[in-house]
Amino acid sequence: MNSLIIVLVVIVAILFIPVIVVINKFNRMLVKIEEADSDIDVALIKRHDTLTKMLDVVKGYAKHEKDTLIEIVNVRKGMSAKEKNDAIKSLDESTEKIRLLAEAYPELRSSENYNTLQKSIADTEEHLQAARRMYNANVSAFNQYLVSFPASIIGSMKGLSKKEFLEASEEQKEDVKMDL
């Protein structure tokens, strides 16, 4: 009787240990994705704030221009991948509009404040790209693991599904360059 119990315990252990290992690996991967995701939030918020400051500086020089009505999209923590993609796209457009507007004011372009903000924007863009790449690398590892056997069975039992990537345009894949 005792030996039967031992055999049963061993069989249960043999069956459950790999399940626990897979679940732990999934949990670790999800934590990594969450960390990378919050890095993107930080970078997006920083970029939004810097861009807002930049717009204020530009407005100071171009008070009477109607083109100064540039809207900078609001960003918040915990946005979905799609919302993030849209926000990044919108911030890119705003950056380009501000840059074009500033081109008409050589004094502005040569001001120290403007140049400092330009560098800050370049830096936040670089941080954003780093966060996006790290997020995508973690998502890629997670998605690959999710479709592999036997993780796929445990994953579907846990209700896990493939994560969405953060897309990057060809320009975003290039290193940041700014005309200072």
If one asks whether residue 25 binds other proteins (CB under 8 A), the answer comes out as: no
Considering only the C-alpha atoms of the chain, give the largest distance between any 2 of them, rounded to a whole number of Å. 92
Residue from 22, 131, 139, 151 touching other proteins (CB under 8 A): that is: 131
CA–CA distance from 65 to each of 39, 53, 101, 104 (Å)?
36, 18, 9, 11
Site of tokens 């171009």: 62
Q: How far is the CB of 119 from other proteins (least distance, A)?
A: 6
Structure tokens at 173: 């894949």
Among the residue ranges 15-23, 68-76, 134-142, 153-161, the one whose residues contact other proteins (CB under 8 A): 134-142
27 in Cβ contact with 94 (< 8 Å): no
Structure tokens at 93: 């457009």
For the four alpha carbons of 57, 92, 162 and 151, in that order, the dihedral sign comes to negative
If one asks whether residue 30 binds other proteins (CB under 8 A), the answer comes out as: no
Burial bucket for residue 32 (CB in 10 Å: 0-12, 13-18, 19+): middle
Residues 45-74 that bind other proteins (CB under 8 A): none
If one asks whether residue 79 binds other proteins (CB under 8 A), the answer comes out as: no
If one asks whether residue 22 binds other proteins (CB under 8 A), the answer comes out as: no
If one asks whether residue 101 binds other proteins (CB under 8 A), the answer comes out as: no
Q: How far is the CB of 45 from other proteins (least distance, A)?
A: 15
If one asks whether residue 136 binds other proteins (CB under 8 A), the answer comes out as: yes
Q: How far is the CB of 67 from other proteins (least distance, A)?
A: 26
Q: How far is the CB of 111 from other proteins (least distance, A)?
A: 17
Structure tokens at 123: 């830096």
- Cα 40–Cα 46–Cα 143 angle in degrees, nearest 5: 5
Site of tokens 């459950």: 16
Q: How far is the CB of 125 from other proteins (least distance, A)?
A: 10
Residues 102-121 that bind other proteins (CB under 8 A): 119
Residues near other proteins, by CB under 8 A: 36, 39, 119, 122-123, 126-127, 129-131, 133-134, 136-137, 173-178, 180
